[in-house]
């Protein structure tokens, strides 16, 4: 039961990786139809004032990956509680899902900061549609912040009891302080980012020095309060560390890190090749050099999008898909196969110990029967004499 649950815990974030990759590719493809705006001299002014679909496709991809990584972590914790903390496969599944949760947190943070930085050059300086600005910039940043805080607290602070026999415990002051120590710096940073965007949208100029000072003060206050609550949680009595076998743990950790590095490298290659394959559908107009004595003709930099072709799919897009499958299947096989032998050995040891306790040899039974018969005969003899 616990082995099957551990395998499902490993598969769940990998499914999120595939779904997130697919949504990212659709987001990149949708950006091909968002055309820039140029003036009469060919200078870049901004992009078309619409709520870009890619903004929410990227966000949904990060959300799906993050929630499935969180679900996988919960399943791995349940598997460890059923099999024991030292069971190899559930322990490896727990480490892997912890890593995927951290990656989702980093992705959500980069997404929010990236939207903040792109907000300064996404539209022109005049006649900005505030409704488009709200749903294209502000709402995604708020949603990404909520996602990061939710996953962070659910994954590392407020974990639910997964064993039926476990009693629900009231949250201690240390746990509350730990949760605030995690959440407050992120929340204050999001407030500072939104404050800077509001000032930029009102003044329509680059952020002045004092505005940057206010932003840094807000972020510093968040870090200060987070440090205070973290120190309060750290002052609580900690559980004693478990004893480990150094060499075995080091080898296991090395192999685990190598498999994760392989999976991360191949995944990044898949994202890169897929993005470049979609970008190759963008067809730029040909620039014609003016002949001597002729005036330079205005060059229109607006591109066109090529239609779908099977040749493009097999030569450009299919290798990215294959790399994604290699990454997902490779990570699963690396983790399960490496820890499969340890699972069988631990189960065999448990069965041998239980069998050694209950097994009785026939010689011992014969001796017990003979001694019992002798004692009964000795007790019965005096009765016959009487």
Q: What is the pLDDT of residues 72-84, one digit of tens each?
A: 999 999 998 888 8
How many Cβ atoms from other residues are within 10 Å of residue 10's Cβ?
A: 25
At residue 201's C-alpha, the angle toward residues 200 and 204, to 5°, is 70
Alpha-carbon 73 to chain mean position:
10
Residues 203 and 147 sit within 8 Å (Cβ to Cβ): no
φ/ψ of 304, rounded to 5, equals -120, 160
Residue with the bigger pLDDT between 208 and 62: it is: 62
Measure the CA–CA gap between 103 and 116, rounded to whole angstroms.
20
pLDDT at 50: 79
Q: Which of 38-52, 276-290, 360-374 has the lowest mean pLDDT?
A: 360-374
pLDDT at 81: 87
Residue with the bigger pLDDT between 19 and 214: it is: 19
| Residue 160 DSSP SS3 | coil
pLDDT band at 159 (very low <50, low <70, confident <90, very high): low
How many Cβ atoms from other residues are within 10 Å of residue 73's Cβ?
A: 26
The CA-atom distances, in angstroms, between 183 and each of 8, 42, 107, 222 are 29, 46, 17, 9
Length of the chain: 386
Residues 226 and 180 sit within 8 Å (Cβ to Cβ): yes
Residue 51 has pLDDT above 70, yes or no: yes
pLDDT band at 206 (very low <50, low <70, confident <90, very high): low
- DSSP letter string over 302-347? --EEPPP-HHHIIIIIHHHHHHHHHHHHHHHHHHHHHHHHHHHHHH
Q: Which residues pair with 282 in a beta bridge?
A: 305
The CA-atom distances, in angstroms, between 299 and each of 38, 224, 246 are 11, 54, 66
pLDDT tens sequence across 290-345: 667 666 666 667 788 988 889 999 988 999 999 999 989 888 888 887 776 544 44
Measure the CA–CA gap between 79 and 9, rounded to whole angstroms.
9
Measure the CA–CA gap between 281 and 285, rounded to whole angstroms.
13
Alpha-carbon 249 to chain mean position:
24
At residue 69's C-alpha, the angle toward residues 66 and 71, to 5°, is 110
**Residue 148 in tokens:** 């990061």
Could you give the angle at which helices 2-30 and 88-118 cross, rounded to 10 degrees?
Answer: 20
Q: What share of the chain has pLDDT > 70, as a percent?
A: 67
Q: Which residues pair with 44 in a beta bridge?
A: 38
pLDDT at 260: 74
Residue 178 has pLDDT above 90, yes or no: no
User: Highest mean pLDDT range out of 121-135, 163-177, 211-225?
Assistant: 211-225
Taking alpha carbons only, the member of 102, 32, 33, 95 closest to residue 65 is 102
Q: Which of 50-54, 65-69, 146-150 has the lowest mean pLDDT?
A: 50-54
Arithmetic mean of pLDDT, 273-282:
92
pLDDT at 340: 66
**Residue 174 in tokens:** 């240390």
Residue with the bigger pLDDT between 173 and 164: it is: 173
Q: What is the mean pLDDT of the chain?
A: 75
pLDDT band at 189 (very low <50, low <70, confident <90, very high): confident
pLDDT at 152: 86
């Amino acid at each position: 039961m616990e082995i099957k649950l551990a395998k499902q815990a490993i598969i769940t974030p990998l499914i999120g990786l595939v779904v997130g990759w697919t949504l990212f590719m659709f987001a990149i493809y949708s950006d091909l139809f968002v055309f820039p705006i140029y003036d009469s001299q060919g200078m870049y002014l901004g992009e078309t004032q619409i709520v870009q679909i890619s903004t929410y496709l990227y966000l949904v991809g990060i959300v799906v990956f993050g929630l499935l990584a969180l679900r996988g972590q919960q399943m791995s914790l349940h598997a460890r509680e059923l099999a024991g903390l030292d069971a190899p496969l559930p322990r490896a599944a727990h480490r892997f899902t912890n890593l995927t949760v951290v990656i989702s947190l980093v992705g959500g943070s980069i997404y929010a900061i990236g939207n903040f930085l792109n907000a300064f050059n996404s539209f022109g300086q005049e006649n900005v549609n505030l409704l488009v600005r709200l749903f294209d910039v502000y709402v995604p940043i708020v949603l990404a912040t909520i996602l990061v805080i939710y996953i962070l607290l659910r994954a590392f602070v407020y974990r639910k009891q997964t064993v039926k026999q476990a009693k629900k415990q009231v949250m201690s002051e240390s746990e509350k302080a730990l949760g605030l120590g995690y959440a407050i710096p992120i929340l204050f940073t999001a407030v500072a980012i939104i404050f800077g965007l509001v000032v930029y949208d009102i003044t329509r100029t680059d952020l002045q020095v004092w505005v940057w000072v206010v932003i840094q003060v807000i972020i510093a206050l968040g870090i200060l309060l987070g440090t205070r609550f973290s120190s309060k949680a750290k002052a609580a009595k900690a559980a004693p560390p478990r004893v480990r076998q150094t060499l075995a743990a080091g080898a296991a950790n090395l192999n685990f890190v190598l498999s994760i590095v392989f999976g991360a490298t191949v995944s990044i290659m898949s994202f890169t090749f897929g993005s470049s394959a979609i970008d190759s559908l963008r067809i730029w107009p040909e620039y014609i050099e003016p002949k001597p004595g002729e005036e330079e003709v205005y060059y229109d930099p607006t591109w066109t999008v090529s239609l779908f072709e099977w040749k493009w799919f097999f030569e450009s897009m299919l290798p990215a898909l294959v790399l994604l499958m290699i990454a997902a299947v490779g990570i699963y096989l690396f983790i399960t196969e490496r820890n499969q032998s340890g699972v069988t050995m631990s189960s065999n040891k448990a069965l041998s110990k239980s069998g050694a306790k209950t097994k009785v040899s026939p010689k011992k039974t014969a001796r017990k029967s003979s001694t019992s018969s002798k004692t009964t005969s000795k007790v019965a003899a005096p009765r016959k004499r009487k």
